[in-house]
Amino acid sequence: MSTIEDVKPVPVTLGGVRGGPERRTLRRDRWWASPAFTYAVLTLFVAYTAWAVFQNADYYVGVNMHRDLISPLYSPCIMGSCVPGAHGTFLVLHWWTITPAIFALSVPAAFRSTCYYYRKAYYRSFWQAPPACGVADGHARYTGETRFPLILQNLHRYAWGLALVWNVILTIDAVMAFRMPGDGGIGVSVGSLILTVNAIALWLYSLSCHACRHLCGGHVDQFSKAPIRHRLWKLVTPLNGRHMQFAWFSLFMVVLADVYVRIVAAGWIHDPKLF
Ligand code: FES
């Protein structure tokens, strides 16, 4: 086993990209593994979502069937192109004839794409700016988030507020999923559990947001003079420490919920009732 004394010093010449060493990095570990993994997972997610959005079918198991399940990729479904009976169709916007998922995903997409954690993830994995700590930037120039379009990342706090509205809607969807018209009233099925865990994951992701923590405890000089904000700050701070985990878990749950509702709506499985 090599020790720290065995590692030979690497000659360094300064003057590379933005004043760094001439070589890309002095790191000898697998620094590329994390950005490569992130790249692969986010690419798969975007590809799946793009496919699902334009299916415009099999996203709702209607009350006329045996369950009341709607995919989170298509909720709120308030557009003229929604299938009859989908939650929210009492608000139908008739002029919208393309897939309703584009509207339903507008807020979650703005929220996730401006998230501080996801910014780090895709700046590293897609833009290589930089790909990892101690690794040279993939670009000769760096303007940060000071110019269009990246200056729009500052809208994250507003996207957070809208995302809370979406969370309420998806929580209502989860509660409605316990209605089982085909099985005599109310019960618990695999689908209702999946939509419930999905709603909880979305709340955890939103409440662990850095903008949320700042809203609770930011700009306070003395917590003793703002006891309610102090209490809220203490509640969200432990969640904030797990924001990355909630970001990935909630992303996974959204895909799982969509896949599950899709295969039930297509008639592949019956959504087993547990009790
Ligand atoms: Fe990630 Fe706000 S920082 S959701």
What does pTM read for this prediction? Answer: 0.89
Q: What is the ipTM of this complex?
A: 0.99
Residue 28 lies in a domain: no
Partners of 273 in beta bridges = 189
Distance CA 19, CA 13 (A): 10
Angle of helix 190-207 relative to helix 227-240, nearest 10 degrees? 120
**Per-residue pLDDT tens listing for the chain (275 residues):** 445 555 565 555 555 556 666 788 888 899 999 999 999 999 999 999 999 999 999 999 975 667 899 999 999 998 888 888 787 767 778 888 899 999 999 999 999 999 999 999 999 999 998 899 989 888 878 888 999 999 999 999 999 999 999 999 999 999 999 998 766 789 999 999 999 999 999 999 999 999 999 999 999 999 999 999 999 999 999 999 999 999 999 999 999 999 999 999 999 998 998 98
Domain count, the chain: 1
Residue 271 lies in a domain: no
Tally DSSP H helices, then E strands, for the chain.
8, 4
Closest by alpha carbon to 100, among 115, 84, 114? 84
Distance CA 256, CA 202 (A): 13
- Looking up tokens 């019960």 gives 187
Provide the domain limits for residue 132. 38-137+155-265
Residue 124 lies in a domain: yes
Residue 231 lies in a domain: yes
Residue 13 lies in a domain: no
Residue 30 lies in a domain: no
142: tokens are 């760096």
Residue 274 lies in a domain: no
Which residue is closest in CA terms to ligand 1's atom 1? 115
Q: What is the distance in A from the centroid of ligand 1 to the CA of 244? A: 9
Residue 65 lies in a domain: yes
Which of 107, 119, 154, 156 has most ligand 1 atoms within 8 Å of CB, for mutation?
156
Distance CA 23, CA 14 (A): 9
Which residue is closest in CA terms to ligand 1's atom 2? 209
